[in-house]
Amino acid sequence: MLIKIILVALVIYMIVNLFLAMRIMMKNDPTHGPMSKYIGRRVLTSVVIVVLILIAIGTGLITPNPRPY
């Protein structure tokens, strides 16, 4: 159950970074940090999510759904 909470928190963090990057893009204010900082965090978070899912499946913490047919 803890792994699922961590994964949901990471997905929320990824979505927040997406909206922060959008806000920077819409304002076009040079005083704030670059948009690539938030996009980079989003990509890194995606990689961490995929690795955690693969580790959780490999160790048996979560089980994938059976084949639908």
Structure confidence at residue 12 as a pLDDT band (50, 70, 90) = very high
Q: What is the pTM assigned to this prediction?
A: 0.80
Helix runs in 1-69, H state only: 2-27, 35-59
**Burial letters for 2-11: b for 16+ Cβ neighbours within 10 Å, e otherwise?**
eeeeebeeee
pLDDT per position as a tens digit, 14-66: 999 889 888 888 887 777 778 888 888 899 999 999 999 999 999 989 888 88
In three-state secondary structure terms, 6 is: helix
In this structure, the number of other CB atoms found within 10 A of the CB of residue 21 comes to: 19
